[in-house]
Structure formats: structure tokens, C-alpha cells
Amino acid sequence: MIEIVTGDSRPIFRQIVDGLRRQIAGGELPPGSRLPSVRGLAQQLRISLNTVAKAYAVLTNEGLIESRDRVGVFVCEPRQILSLEERQRRLEEAVSQFVNSTYSLGFDDDELIRQVEAGLEQYAAGHPNSGDPE
């Protein structure tokens, strides 16, 4: 179930992309799960069809979901379609965001690293295959 809010600094389509990406990554939406149709999600969230279509297009381009003609929209089997450069760029972006938002919290580096490790472990526990490439 995706929730959106208006008045946020993230556009609605971005909130949908982030929300679904998180649910797919977190295993709440395993491969093969069926997503609401564009119209269905638009009705559910009370937003325009175009906004949902745009969000689904982003996730489709990332290889996370696929639309099967007349059947519906489904979560794909995980595969790596991003280039190494792109993956590195995204990693750097994520690290920089992480550092920006945790720097002023007053934890020492060891504590931050320990927490990240714990987070990764927790994630891996929900994803038996996430360590294997392909």
C-alpha cells in the first residue's frame, strides 16, 4: 500500500517511485507480485493517470517492474540493468545524503558504521539472494 502526501518537497510521482522501490527492495513486494493498474492506483490515491503512468515508466526503465499486455503490472525478478558508472554515481549520492543528514547528530564514526552494518544485515536477512550477483 502506497501513501502519498501533497505539500511535500518531493513530487507525487517521485513519492510513488520511492515507495514502490522501497517495498520491492524490502521484500514486501517480491518478484511476481502484481501491482495495481495505472487507473487503479490513480483512483486509490486520487491523482491523475499521467502521474501514475510516469512513476511506472521510471520503475520500468530501472527494470524493477514490467507491464504485461492486458494482464497487469508485475514486479520483475531482480537483475542489474544499470551500468557500473551509474551504480557508482548512485552510491556516491546516497553516501553523501547519509553523511549530510547524520553528521550533525553527534555520533562518532564507529557508531555510524556499526549502525549501517546492522541495517545491511537486517536487509540481507529479508533477501536470501541479495548477496549473489545475478
Partner 1 sequence: MTPSDLSVPNAVETAALSHWYGDQPALQDLTLGISQGGVHAIVGRNGSGKTTLLRILTGFVQPSRGRCQLLGEDCRKLPAAVRGRVALVSDEHALPPWLSAEQLVGLQRASYPTWDQTLFDQIVDLFSSSPTQRVDQLSRGERAGLCLALALATRPQILLLDEPTLGLDVVASRAILEVLLLASEPPDRTVILCTHQMDEVERLADQLIILNRGRLVAASEPEAFRDRFSSWVAEGIPASSVGSVEGLVRCRTIDDQLHLVTVDRDPNLVEELRGLGATRVTRSALSLDRAIEAVLSQPGA
Question: Which residues lie near partner 1 (CB under 8 A)?
Answer: 6-13, 42-43, 46-51
- Shortest distance, CB of residue 56 to partner 1, whole angstroms? 16
- Shortest distance, CB of residue 10 to partner 1, whole angstroms? 8
CB nearer to partner 1: give 103 or 123: 103
Q: What type of residue is 75?
A: V
Task: Give the torsion sign (CA, 55, 47, 97, 125).
Answer: negative
- Shortest distance, CB of residue 12 to partner 1, whole angstroms? 6
Q: Which of 86, 11, 19, 83 is nearest to 51 (CA)?
A: 11
Upper half-sphere CA count for residue 95 (Cβ side, 13 Å): 7
CB nearer to partner 1: give 56 or 75: 56
- Shortest distance, CB of residue 7 to partner 1, whole angstroms? 5
CB nearer to partner 1: give 28 or 93: 93
C-alpha cell at 90: 548512485
Q: What distances in angstroms separate CA 9 from CA 12, 17, 25, 43, one per listed residue? A: 9, 14, 23, 23
CB nearer to partner 1: give 49 or 82: 49
